[in-house]
Structure 1
């Protein structure tokens, strides 16, 4: 299908053979572009009258293809807009009480997931309270040591159950079963009771062609004009993480959420296979999360007296990702420059106050390692996780924080950046070998390289100072500085390799090397003079 679409796009016309075989291609005659086209809707399999069966002879359910209308004069609201169009169209065709939402790069890995979710919704005592059931996000293409720390194991196996224990997990945008009423803006009431028989006995008398024509209106651009869609109904608009915001709104309307993690993963997706893909993805997440925290949708404002205080605080753990860049940048830059300048920030190694710093460093890292390994990771995987923790906080979170500030000041507009998951054979091979992928010029890479070179210069300068003044025991004064700076140098080894030693196409470009070297030397010169 991909090849047919690409060939049709290149030719600029529909071949007669394809036109006869695929009804949807006929409508391309009127399509101006992928951002300017009418609604294309086709019921491929009508479960009411179709004879289509699977390999076991079982009748296949209704299958619908939908491409909603897009016009330049209307904002299409990205993924949230697509989801809302699907909610409306499905309400006319099947109107199923339960909606499953998965990302386009995910597939079902456990056929029992539907049954498991329904057990929560149909529970006789607490089922009527459940608004959505969230499954963990998992990936099928992870390497042994997870070079880009994409597994999210600690987040999914520890933090999300903590969410669940504090009042209900957040909605993460995929692998989630929703009750249709919750997505339609309905508030929870103690007298609410799901009428499952009403759904079973529902009969749609319209023919397939009539359904197609009437449903096209529901997926048109003008349908949402002057309505509550995107505000009180459906997924929320004007936020890069519409899923989290929508989940908070559901919980504030009284619905309860459930986190269910079966032994066999319910759904599997594709993790980013390059460093830039991973950083861009986290930039979007962190910016959207901070947008929620700094708006009227903040859990402390929207959730006041509606959701438990402990759940409000739990949300802030993720909503403040972007703001955490400031503390990390301080620890990466300031102590290293102070070491280069000869200014001590930490207690001397002989001072008893140093024990507090040592205790925090050792205990926190030991706990982090134990936590990571407990949930199926390796020691090298944990080290990669520490590296990505640093890289995300100094680039993804920084740009997410900066972009939000600029948008509030009116300098930039909102954008939804899609994370590309398609990779060539050479990229996939390097990913499987756990070789870090650079290859392109990016402001994120310039920042990473600048910080890496800055710490390398300051580390050498600090060692030189200690060796030159060995008799005066300068090392006691700067021991923690040297340790911190040396740790940063060690964690940045892939950056140094990409700058100076690797010669393949995935190394850092020469322009990044020149820029980062200039910025690092300039920072060191300013610190000294």
Structure 2
């Protein structure tokens, strides 16, 4: 709400899929605090303008009056958060507080998060001349929405919520440009709207732009990125490359959309945007009628037998609805733009444990592979609609999960072959040894240089990324591949598991200390442990063989296999620490270790027979 943008042209919507009265109460409190916060931000041109982010950062301003006002504002903010926390802890909004806004009457005792009617409440109406901040300036429109939920109807997860927001906003503000931001992100740059509009309003090249995508950045990544969650290489290298072929994919958050392109319109050369659309609306006296009309668009039955979720709005039926929706938009003739300014546009919260990381990447890998194996594969659906370079670029992400199969082969078969004395790669004296060595060394060297050039990744951080590269392909992407295949074969239905980003106090401390949290399922830990222990056993066996037969003979035959096996062992040092050295709650349970160790011994014995 505090964006550097005319408030009469700005509308802010919050979609609460749980339909919680506690969330609505927090929004009501925020709407009151905004009357003080927005003029404070604009008077001193503060950055960032998210209160929690601003008060947690240092303020180096030399203006003493600013510091005094900052202290007063911080007290107001802390009082507000204390009231909200107290109400949330009690689980109930007192009756005397409910009298402060008519919207509280929408909640009934029988309502639950999985079954409730549609609720649309305009907490601040930007068209009302009486909607002013504490210095007399206009406020942006501020709207709460909870679409109807009913177990008898499939709600289509995030895509369904976004499509309901599209319809509700069309009758309240109907602005031509829409920004969507996930609930765990905040705006870091108050000029992001103006920056994005520069692309849409360009007289020569702006008419065919459907969306402007900002990169997804996290503000809680540790110095050496323990779980390899930094997206720096994707943000600094991969997505930039999309621009020359027609634009980046839609990645679900931090994206400015042209409403008409998101609603299914095809691009034509004579297209012209109506920038005055949405500037006029019902007078303030008709607010309740407007809310009722908006609620009718957020019911479970509204989309039945319509094109919503198929040709209109976000696409249903795939775990990465954002990527699929962006592809469909580009196949209708539109282009997109990737914008990565020095001042980050948006910051969010990244996973802070191994389990959170694996869950998030499983969903991404599964959804992207679903696209590749369906009729929406870019080589089929995009043929003749988008450039070949863009089709190939999409496949880099679409085949994330499929990389698990060759990875699984390379960390098991060469090691077992080494155990049995079978050479899989050329000898050191063979001319073919050179290209194999070049690929192995060149790939890692290029990866390291690429990471360091982003200036956000340290050498240790790059090494952690290599470890997580292996772990994710053995777990997240392997599970994602199996899940995608089972859904395509009709064995199971699509689900959507939300990636939790909240950890306990002990886990948070270990994250800050860059100690891995082995909080994943027993099966997941067993897979990771099996690969680590198997390669360690095979490396020990190869070393003993070299001692008995001579290093020269063994290296001549098995150098590349020993190098590969040794690399896997080196990458998994943190796993061995979790097995043997650590005593904290985040270490690997002994029950998993003993089971896995027994299985490794069995496989080793069988392979020697």
TM-score by length of 2: 0.83
The alpha carbon displacement at 1:188 in A equals 0.5
TM alignment of 1:77-156, pairs within 5 A? 77-156=156-235
Give the CA deviation at 1:5.
Answer: 6.2
Partner of 1:230: 309
Distance in structure 1 (CA, Å) of the matches to 2:551 and 2:441:
29
1:448 aligns with 2:528: yes
The match for 1:186 is 265
Task: Measure the CA separation in 1 of the matches of 2:89 and 2:354.
Answer: 31
Q: Which residues in structure 2 correspond to 1:496-507 (within 5 Å)?
A: 496-507=576-587
Measured at CA, do residues 435 and 187 of structure 1 come closer, stay the same or move farther in structure 2, by a change above 3 Å?
Answer: same
Instruction: Provide the rounded CA distance (Å) in 2 between the counterparts of 1:488 and 1:97.
Output: 52
Aligned to 1:369: 448
> What is the DSSP-based 3-state SS (H/G/I as helix, E as strand, rest coil) of the residue aligned with 1:197?
coil
| Cα distance in structure 2, aligned partners of 1:24 and 1:455 | 61
Provide structure 1 residue ranges, at least 5 long, that are not aligned to the other structure: none
Q: Which runs of 4+ in 1 moved over 6 A?
A: none
**1:303 corresponds to:** 382
Question: Partner residue of 1:517?
Answer: 597
515-524 or 281-290: which moved more?
515-524
* Equivalence for 1:467: 547
SS in 2 for 1:369: helix
- State the alpha-carbon separation in 2 of the partners of residues 441 and 236 from structure 1: 31
Q: Classify 1:258/1:472 alpha carbon distance in 2 versus 1 (closer, same or farther; 3 Å).
A: closer
Give the 5 Å matches for 1:23-34: 23-34=102-113
| Paired residues for 1:194-213 under 5 Å | 194-200=273-279, 202-205=280-283, 207-213=286-292
- 1:411 corresponds, among 491, 512, 531, to 491
How many corresponding residue pairs? 525
RMSD between superposed Cα atoms in Å? 1.7
Mapped partners of 1:137, 1:75: distance in 2: 29
Q: Give yes or no for contact 1:137–1:268 (8 Å, CA) kept in 2.
A: yes
- Residue of 486, 489, 512 corresponding to 2:566: 486
Distance 1:309 1:26 in 2: 55
Q: Measured at CA, do residues 46 and 456 of structure 1 come closer, stay the same or move farther in structure 2, by a change above 3 Å?
A: same
8 Å Cα contact 1:282/1:396 also seen in 2:
yes
Residue in structure 2 matching 1:275, options 354, 358, 372: 354
Task: State the distance in 1 between where 2:151 and 2:225 align.
Answer: 41
1:196 partner SS: coil
Q: Give the distance between the partners of 2:162 and 2:533, measured in 1 at CA.
A: 45
Structure 2 unpaired stretches of 5+: 1-25, 27-83
Once residues 420 and 135 of structure 1 are traced to their aligned partners in structure 2, the CA distance between those partners, rounded to angstroms, is 23
Once the two structures are superposed, what CA deviation does each residue of 1:264-286 show, in whole Å capped at 9, x if it has no partner? 00111111111111111011000
Shift of 1:405: 1.5
Deviations 1:429-483 (A, max 9, x none): 2111111111353422221111111111111111111112118822321122111
- The answer on whether the counterparts of 2:354 and 2:520 sit within 8 Å (CA) in structure 1 is no
Q: Out of 492, 497, 500, which is 1:420 matched to?
A: 500
Gap change, CA 1:185 and 1:471, over 3 Å in 2? closer
Q: Equivalents in 2 of 1:204, 1:191: separation in Å? A: 31
Q: Give per-residue Cα distances to partners, 1:99-136, cap 9 Å, x unaligned.
A: 00111111111111100111111111111111100011
Q: Residue 359 of structure 1: CA displacement?
A: 1.1
Distance between the aligned counterparts of 1:86 and 1:131, measured in 2? 18
Between stretches 238-247 and 205-214, larger displacement belongs to 205-214
Cα separation, 2, equivalents of 1:442 and 1:25:
45
Q: Is the 8 A contact 2:116 2:150 kept in 1?
A: yes
Per-residue CA shift, 1:74-110, capped at 9, x if unaligned? 0000000000000000000000000001111111111
2:152 to 73, 80, 89: 73
Deviation at 1:21, TM superposition (A): 3.9
Q: Which residue of 2 aligns with 1:220?
A: 299
Q: 2:343 aligns with which of 240, 264, 271?
A: 264
- Per-residue CA distance 1:35-79 (angstroms, 9 max, x = gap): 111112211101111644456653211000111110001000000
CA contact (8 A) 1:36 1:71 kept: yes
Residue 396 (structure 1) aligned to one of 464, 476, 492: 476
Give the Cα–Cα distance (whole angstroms) in 1 for the partners of residues 134 and 535 of structure 2: 61
User: Which secondary structure state, in structure 2, belongs to the residue aligned with residue 222 of structure 1?
Assistant: coil
Q: How many angstroms apart in 1 are the aligned matches of 2:443 and 2:578?
A: 30
Is 2:509 the counterpart of 1:429?
yes
User: Which whole-Å CA distance do the structure 1 matches of 2:551 and 2:415 have between them?
Assistant: 23
Deviation at 1:300, TM superposition (A): 1.1
Give the CA deviation at 1:25. 4.2
Deviations 1:287-323 (A, max 9, x none): 0000001101111111111111111111001101111
TM-score between both structures, scaled by the size of structure 1: 0.96
Q: Deviation at 1:30? A: 4.6
